[in-house]
Every structure is written in structure tokens, then in C-alpha cells.
Amino acid sequence: MVIKSTISELWSWCCEGRPILTVTVTVLITVLSALLIKKLKKYAANSNFRLPPGPRGLPVVGNLLSLDPDLHVYFSELTRTYGPILKLKLGNKLGIVVSSPSMAKEVLKDHDTIFANRDVPVAARVIAYGGSDIVWTPHGPEWRMLRRVCVREMLSNTSLNAVYGLRRREIRRTVSRLYGNTGKPVNVGEEMFLTVLNVITSMLWGGSLRGEGRSSIGAEFRQVVGEITELLGKPNVSDFFPGLARFDLQGVKRQMDGLFLRFDRIFDSIVDQRVRLDREEGEGESEGTDFLQILLKLKEEGDSKMPFTMTHLKALLMDMVVGGTDTTSNTVEYAIAEMMQKPETMRKAQEELEAVVGKDNIVEETHIPGLHYLDAVVKEILRLHPALPLLVPHCPSLSCTVGGYTIPEGARVFINVWAIHRDPSIWENPSEFDPERFLGAASKWDYSGNDFNYFPFGSGRRICAGTPMAERMVKYSLASLLHSFNWSLPQGAKLDLSEKFGIVLKKATPLVAVPMPRLSNPQLYMQ
């Protein structure tokens, strides 16, 4: 009634001999009325709109200035005050943090389809060929095609078995190289990154970094991948204020453009070489069929409804190189570090290896199913130090209700799997490294994402497609390192298990350790 009275008075005043003003005010009143009606309708539609609780934010920037660099820990601390689901105002974006199994289940299972999309950050859009990869592509026909290519053609048991010879070759080269450094300090993370990089590139295109340039090239790759994962996890003004994205105020897009070009040139060169080699010598000349041959064949065969393009091919190569190297090498590095901190766990793992493999033999992947304690070690490492502590953020395509609260369309949803894995109401002594918790009846835990107390690789439609390869690589690498060597710290060094947050979780201080041979026959290190 007050608004109606005010409008009437304004109309009467301007109609008293003021024709130009009358027209102006008429337009103004019409616009204001339309906006008011729209706002009232929106209010009526959202009368049951109830956002989760959360800390108060500042005007415009919201909670951005209060974010801690260790986001997974900061989010976990907020949970104590605001509960298992909370909101954060991140500039023009709304962030939702989920930190309990029941809430995670609602997001990743009950409303799986709604939350099967991504809020793609600027950095990811650059490095993933415009979001044409399996991680960032929106849920739909294109994503289903990419998922099918990965799961059926590249990462099936049949495909992974076919390239076992390539994995074995690189693991044995690493063991031999470490044997040559007996008694000397080595950077475990760097060694494992180089190994995993060679394994992945061997499986992808049959190539391998070798010779004198091996270490320098591997170090460069590690630096580039490290910079990429750092930029992917870095808060970027362009993501929180999309209107400012064209200015690239922090230079994130410019930096990622440079990293992207370095990788893209490598991919172009490798694809050209592979196509030329296949034409000259015929397929099947390499040590087993590599993934690039499979992908090129899929591209040539084509699909009129949903073609697999060269952009898709290179985006998947990028996923494998960037997503598979840091995550795997960091997990193995953390496993060695935690076992050095608790030597009885290393002793038990090595005793099991002696019983299953033998001290006059080398580890093969066929031994892995019989290594139950090693399996428990890997599961415990992924509980304590999940590779992606907040997974890859989800984005609802529609507004929906989770835990009695409304999650608006377009929000950025973080699943704090790190916090869930350390929840004292779920896990006894959650901060302690204890592989025993995954033995016996507890061996039911797996990586399927069906139990929301433990899901290090995510769950639902967007569960990590690389889980089968990651599981094989971590177990095979760790088994080989433990079976072949005893590990100790250099004299006077102290073990640091602290974490460094990023989209990929890392050790804050690299593990430098001394390998000492365990096997009596030196020839076993040369195979």
C-alpha cells in the first residue's frame, strides 16, 4: 500500500503541466514496477529457499579474504561451527562445502545426475582444450562418449593387461637405477614421478625418456605438471568475478596458456610421429599396442552422431599425463614416508613380500592379489592423504535440496573427503597411520565409491576413470620399492609428514631417503 501511494503521488505531481517529465516518469515507473513484480515473484517462488549456514562475509568479496591456503583443513574447522554442510560467499559465486558421509551420499548418489556437472575454472578450460576432456566436460552425450573411450578402450582390464610389459620395463629400470645409488640420498618423489611419467608415456605412445637427458627432461615435466596443478588449485579472481575474467588480473590464464602450448607442441609432435610410423612400418611394431594407436583408430573410424576428434584425443592425453603422474607419485612417496615413521608397518609389508614373492625373485603384478597387508597400506594412505582432498568440485544443473538446505543451480560444491576420512565418529584414532584397520572384516573397503565413509576416488557418474590404473601403479611401484630396498633417513635428517594443499595433495617437504638393497643376488636388480 505504501508503494502504491507513493507512485500515485509522484504521478499526480508530474501530470501538473509537466509533459516531458510526465513521459520520463512514466517510463521510470514502468521499469521500476516491472522490476518490483519480478522480485516479488522470485521471492514468492523462493519462499522455502533455505541456504546452509556459514560465516559472514564482507560486501562484494564475501569470504574470499578469510580463506586459508590449506583449504581442506580450513573447511574442516568451519564444519565444527556450522555443521556438515555450509556455505561460503566467494565473490559472485556461492560455495557449498559438504563434510559428512550422509551429505556426500545425497550429492553423489541421491542427486547424482543433478550434480554431475562442473563449474569449470579458467585455468582448467585452458589446459583441457576448452573443457573437452573427461574431467571437465559437462554431463551429456560428449562426456558419455569420452567415458566409454576411457573405460572400455584404454583402462579396461584387457587394455591394462596388454601394456603390462611397458609398466614392468619402467619399474625394473627404476629399481636398477636406485640400486646404482645404494647408500646415497634420493628424492623419492622425484624418482617416482619420473617412473610414473615413463610408465604413462610408454602406455600412451610407446615412448620413454632415457639416456643422459632423462633426468633433466623428467624434471622439466614434473615442474610443468606441478605448475599446472598449482594453477588449477589457486583461487582466481576471474572464477569468482566472471565479469573480470577478460582482464586476467592474476595472470592465471596467461601462465596456463604458456604451459598448455608446451604440452600441445609435444602432443602434436608425438601424434605426427606415430601416424608416420604406422604408415611406414604398419601397426603393431612397438612393444604392445599403446593407447595412442587405439585413440587414433577411434578417430579414423569416426561416429556421425558423436565423433571422437583430435581435440578429444589430445585432451585425454593431457588428462593422463597431468592427472596420473603427480597423484600416483605423491601417494607412493607418502606411503614410504608413513612406513618410515612407523617401522613395524614396513617390516610387516616386507615379510609379506618375502612370503609371497620370495627373496630370490622380483615382484610381478601377478603377486599383487596375494599382498593383503600391502593392500591395507595403500588404502590407509589414501584415507589419510587422499590424492584430491576436495575431489573435483561439482556443480548442480538445477537447484535442489540437500540435508534440508537449498543448493542453488550453479553453486560450486566441494566434497571434503579429507575431512570425512579423518572424522573421529567414523574412524578410531583417525590421524594415526594404521593399516590394520583395513584388514580382516574391514577388508571390504574398496575404491568403488559405494560406501561414503571411504571414497578416495570419488563416487557416482564422475568417479575417477583412472582408478584401475592408479591402483595397479601404486601397488606395483610400492611393492617393488619395499621388496628391493630398506629405506632410512640420511644422518641427522628429520621426517616431516605435513601436507601442502592443492587440487592435488602433496608432501610439504619432499622425502629424501637412502635405499639399501635387501636381495642377496645383485642380478635381481638388473632384470
Amino acid 44: pLDDT: 41
Amino acid 34: pLDDT: 53
- Collapsing DSSP to helix, strand or coil, 90 comes out as strand
Amino acid 447: pLDDT: 95
**Do residues 494 and 378 touch, judged by C-beta distance below 8 A?**
no
Cα(193)–Cα(510) distance, integer angstroms? 12
Distances (CA, A) of 98 to 367, 420, 514: 38, 9, 41
Q: CA-CA-CA-CA torsion for 62, 63, 66, 71, nearest 10 degrees?
A: -150
Amino acid 207: pLDDT: 54
pTM for this predicted structure: 0.87
Amino acid 240: pLDDT: 94
**Do residues 165 and 365 touch, judged by C-beta distance below 8 A?**
no
Amino acid 223: pLDDT: 80
Amino acid 281: pLDDT: 64
Cα(16)–Cα(22) distance, integer angstroms? 9
Cα(146)–Cα(124) distance, integer angstroms? 17
Q: Which helix (H) or strand (E) holds 354?
A: helix 343-356
Amino acid 81: pLDDT: 97
**Do residues 517 and 235 touch, judged by C-beta distance below 8 A?**
no
pLDDT in single tens digits along all 527 residues of the chain: 434 443 444 345 444 444 444 444 444 445 444 544 454 444 444 446 799 999 999 999 999 999 999 999 999 999 999 999 999 999 999 999 999 999 999 999 999 999 999 999 999 999 999 999 999 999 999 999 999 999 888 889 998 998 898 899 999 999 999 999 999 999 999 999 989 988 888 888 875 444 444 445 556 677 888 889 889 988 899 999 999 999 999 999 999 999 999 889 888 888 888 788 777 766 444 445 678 888 998 998 877 788 999 999 999 999 998 889 999 999 999 999 999 999 999 999 999 999 999 999 999 999 999 999 999 999 999 999 999 999 999 999 999 999 999 999 999 999 999 999 999 999 999 999 999 999 987 667 899 999 999 999 999 999 999 999 999 999 999 999 999 999 999 999 999 999 999 889 999 999 999 999 999 899 999 87
Amino acid 289: pLDDT: 67
CA gyration radius for the chain? 27
Cα(145)–Cα(60) distance, integer angstroms? 40
